[in-house]
Each structure stands twice: as structure tokens, then as C-alpha cells.
Amino acid sequence: MKQFSYVRASSPEDAVQRAIAHQESQFIAGGTNLVDRLKAFLDNPSELIDVSRLGLKEIETMPDGSIRIGAMVSNTAVANHHQIREHYPLLSRAILSGASQQIRNVATVGGNLLQRTRCPYYYDTAFACNKRQPESGCAARHGINRMHAILGASEKCIAVHPSDMCVALAALDAVVEVQGANGQRQIPFTEFHRLPGNTPQWDSNLEPGALITAVILPPNPAAKTGIYLKLRDRTSYAFALVSVAAMVAVEGDAIHHARLALGGVAHKPWRSLETESFLEGKTAASETFEQAAEIALQQAQPLSHNHFKVSMAQRAIKRAFTISAQGGSTA
């Protein structure tokens, strides 16, 4: 492991200034993903900037009814917060379906957004990986690609984003609050992460040195019906083969609000705007949700080992919308 220095930032502004001054530095808070990457020699920072003591640990209701979650709030604290459980149960369920209790107790909101893929070809330095070493190739394309992307992939990279929380946040129209060199700004969640394109080494649209300070959940009465379904090889501590964050609001028999995001299928949480547009004004019926599921996967390009993800995702989408239309469920 490359030798690095360690320093505690005194404020968000101090953290950003240090990161800009030392371009090879990295922030550390819970460290549940970063430490793994350090041990695997994937990251070689010149300095670790500890941001875990900057505060940013509050969950507060804003004047407009939105909920602001500090970037250093633990995953467990978010999942168990009474307002999240009541108004955004989709988010609570997503978090509780990920990792282990011990990891959730330490992992932070900001860190969850920035965790990197768990693609085995990325972690094994014996294989070519454009994400790890640009222009070296992608061994996964012709290897065992059962866990890999079926939407939005490129010739350069077929890795998927590992987060459950982020799929829920995409469906909830969350906003990421960021402290950068020019002060604070807000990034819509759907614009925060990147598709691989020709630069898979970049996972997000954060500026160099920028620090996530909070995630904001806008008010949304329909969020109470939100459903998160996670399909995986085992029920404990496994990444999603396919996950679905979905919600619909129904008046009479007509749908007037719909949201859909998928996990385990793309380099970023995959928001299906086409599906949402299709559902607006339609009758909340089995046939409608079946059509919606087909639309969500119409651009899928499965690989040699993951054709099953297409039908798996379609069935999960139909099920999630059906449950949401019936008022949602804690099951």
C-alpha cells in the first residue's frame, strides 16, 4: 500500500480547500468501501482527509416540507428515522436490504453515493479494467458477466452501480447538496452519477475536491406508497441482480403520478422516464403495468450470461407497481 498522510478537516470549506490543494487526496468518513479499495491496491491517495467530524449528522424538516439528510448521517439512522419510515418508506426498505447491520451502522449517506462498483474484474488486478486503468480493456465483456449491466453500458465498461439507497433516491427525485471551490450548489440526483461512455473511470459529476454535504428529499405524498424490491442470490448481504424502486399515485382508477428506478442493471441508478410518461393518465391495471415493464426494458442489451435479467426486471416492475397502486406494503 502506498504511504499516505492523514488529516482531520475542521470544516466543509477546509476539507474542500485541502482536497483541491492535494489533487491525489481522498475524503474518508465511514470508510466501508474506501478501506476495501485501499487494501486491494485500487486507490493510492497521497492523503486521507477525515470528514467524519464535521457535523453534517442532522435529519431535519425544511420550511418547504422537504427533508434534509446530512452527508455524515449513518445508513442505519436514515433507515430508522421516524419521518423517513412514515413519509419515504421506500428509502428505509432500500437501505435495510443492503449490506449488514454492522456496516450500515458506520456507512454514511455521502459515502453511499460515492461507493464504487463491486465488479470482480475491477477488484482483480490480474484482469483488464478500463475503470481501474483507462484504455486497458474490459475483461468482463467476454468473461462471466452474469452480474453486469443490460442498460446504458458501453464497449468500455459494463459494470453496475452497487447501491440500494441510490436507487431509492433516484425514484424520489432527491437532490444532492455539494460544497465546492465556488461554494454550495445542488445537483438533481438523476444528474449526479454518470454512464460509462468512453470514461468509465469517472462515476459521478462531482467537481475535483467537492464534498457532499447533504441529500434533500422533496415533499411527495405519493412516496408513502413507494415499494423497493431487491432480487438477489441470497437474502442476506448480497448485491442486487435486479432491484426496483417504484411508486404510483392513483385517483379513482387513473394514475396521476409515477416513478421508477432500477438497480443492478446499469452503471448508475437507472431512472425510466419513458415508463413514467407512459403511466400518466393510464388505468391502474395489470395490463398497464405489464406494458410499463416492457417499455422500461425495451433498450436492454443483455450479455452472454445475463439475459435472465430482462424478464426478471419486468416481473419485478409489474409486481412493484401493483403493490404500490394498492397503497403500498411494508412486507
**Residue range 179-208, pLDDT digits in tens:** 999 999 999 999 999 999 999 999 999 999
Angle, nearest 10°, between helix axes 308-325 and 286-296? 140
Predicted local distance difference test score (pLDDT) of residue 330: 52
173 pLDDT exceeds 90? yes
Answer yes or no: is 285 within a domain: yes
- Please report which helix (H) or strand (E) contains residue 293, including its range: helix 286-296
Answer yes or no: is 31 within a domain: no
- Over residues 105-134, the mean pLDDT reads 97
Task: Tell me what percent of the residues of the chain surpass a pLDDT of 90.
Answer: 97
- Over residues 100-122, the mean pLDDT reads 97
**Bridge partner list, 204:** 193
- Give the pLDDT band (50/70/90) at residue 331: low
Q: Which residue has the cell 405519493?
A: 222
- Over residues 144-167, the mean pLDDT reads 98
Question: What total number of domains does the chain contain?
Answer: 1
State how far the Cα of 29 lies from the Cα of 51, in Å rounded to an integer.
6
Predicted local distance difference test score (pLDDT) of residue 262: 99
State how far the Cα of 49 lies from the Cα of 16, in Å rounded to an integer.
9
Answer yes or no: is 271 within a domain: yes
Range of the domain at 265: 223-325
Q: Contact, 170 vs 267, CB < 8 A?
A: no
- Please report which helix (H) or strand (E) contains residue 220, including its range: none
1 pLDDT exceeds 70? no
Cell of 115: 461507493
Task: Report the relative pairing of strands 183-188 and 211-217 from DSSP bridges.
Answer: unpaired
Tell me the HSE value of 17 on the side-chain side, using a 13 A CA sphere: 7
- Give the pLDDT band (50/70/90) at residue 237: confident
Answer yes or no: is 316 within a domain: yes
Q: What is the mean pLDDT of the chain?
A: 96
CATH number of residue 319's parent domain? 3.30.390.50
283 pLDDT exceeds 80? yes
Answer yes or no: is 70 within a domain: no
Answer yes or no: is 253 within a domain: yes
2 pLDDT exceeds 90? no
Answer yes or no: is 173 within a domain: no
**Residue range 34-92, pLDDT digits in tens:** 999 999 999 999 999 999 999 999 999 999 999 999 999 999 999 999 999 999 999 99
Give Cα separations from 146 to 149, 177, 265, 295, 313 (angstroms): 9, 35, 11, 22, 14
Contacts of 187 (CB under 8 A, 6+ apart): 175, 176, 178, 205
**Bridge partner list, 59:** 69
Residue 8 has a CB neighbour count (10 Å cut-off) of 13
Answer yes or no: is 233 within a domain: yes
Q: How many residues does the chain have?
A: 331
